[in-house]
Amino acid sequence: MELQVQLLMNTLQIGSVYVLFALGLTLIFGVMKIVNFAHGTFFTAAALIVSSVMIWGVDTAGIPIWFSYLIAFVLALLVVCVIGFVVYFFGFQHVLKDLNGSFILSIGLLLLLNGTYLLLYGGVPRSIPAVVPGNVTFLGASLTIQRLLLMIVAAIITIGLYLLVHRTKLGLSLRAVAEDQEAAMLQGIPYRRVALYGFLIGATLAACAGALMATVTPVTTVIGDDFLVKAFIIIIIGGLGSVLGAILGGLLIALIESFGGYYFDPSTATLAMFVLVIVLLIVRPQGILGHAER
């Protein structure tokens, strides 16, 4: 029983970040119909910024640790937004709805940005000091307070995004554009502006995930790559463009990773995820919640 609780707790810990990351990816796909292989670089950028600002803030400037983290977090989001805007303005704007073109562009960006990060930060992993030290025990399952906070923050952001998409005017535009771009434009929705907002929200979500992960895992210049591959599996499972699908898919993949890693081995669990994707696509190509044309 304690073991099951622990494994479920692990699922939530892993899943919360997966969900954030996949939400951004699925949102960008929904609005712009692009498969963004450069999404992981937003995550990596945020994690790298948090690590360097934290190390500077705590070691050099002597700023209290929680305040350093706050500065780092905000700064990371800002920088990623700027990167996102530049990338959209000079790049994706010109290949909207062009699946192959935008995919190629995102691959180019992935290479360019990853190379730049390696140049700026080198290959050495960085680890930041604990923002809130200590552990908690819950129904026999143990986790760090940091992880608990991470889960709570991730859940709040996820709920916030869900409300944004389903309860606000911007959300309505995003959904309308995702559903049928031409009909949305006939209704007077400015497609390009909505696409930009969708892209920036997606990038910011990846940045949030990266800034949160930096507190619990060593940061390297390729940290986003592992998340990218998992996130693709998640959004295929959930259905491309589906917000709820990304949430459920993220938790499902985390569940497989947690239980599969325990009862078999982690490498086998990874293989199992890929096999699941292929099987699911054969049975239901549009994903669990997707409604794409076949």
Q: Is 226 in the site for another protein (CB under 8 A)?
A: yes
CA–CA separation, 276 vs 265, rounded Å?
Answer: 16
Hey, which residues between 119 and 148 contact another protein (CB under 8 A)?
A: 119, 122-125, 127, 135, 142-144
| H/E element, 142 | strand 141-144
Q: Quick one: DSSP state of residue 258?
A: I
Q: Is 285 helix (H, G, I), strand (E, B) or coil?
A: coil
Task: Give the total of residues touching another protein (CB under 8 A).
Answer: 78
When binding is defined by CB under 8 A, the residue of 227, 238, 246, 249 that contacts another protein is: 227
**Quick one: 102 or 204, whose CB is closer to another protein?**
102
Q: Rule CB under 8 A: is residue 217 a binding residue for another protein?
A: yes
Among 101, 155, 172, 185, binds another protein (CB under 8 A): 101
Among residues 237, 291, 217, 264, the alpha carbon closest in space to that of 19 is found at: 237
Measured from the CB atom, the residue of 203 and 236 that comes closer to another protein is 236
Check residue 128 and give left, alpha or beta (phi > 0: left; psi -120 to 50: alpha): beta
Enumerate residues 244-273 that contact another protein by CB under 8 A.
Answer: 257-262, 265-271
Burial of 119: CB neighbours in 10 Å, binned 0-12, 13-18, 19+: exposed
CB of residue 223 to another protein, shortest distance in Å: 6
Q: Smallest distance, Å, CB 167 to another protein? A: 28
**Shortest approach of another protein to residue 159 CB, angstroms?**
23
Examine residue 292 and tell whether it contacts another protein (CB under 8 A). Answer: yes
| CA gap 166, 17 in Å, rounded | 21
Q: Which is nearer to another protein, 19 or 110 (CB)?
A: 110
Q: Is 149 in the site for another protein (CB under 8 A)?
A: no
**Cα torsion at 106, 110, 111, 116 (round to 10°)?**
130
107 binds another protein (CB under 8 A): yes
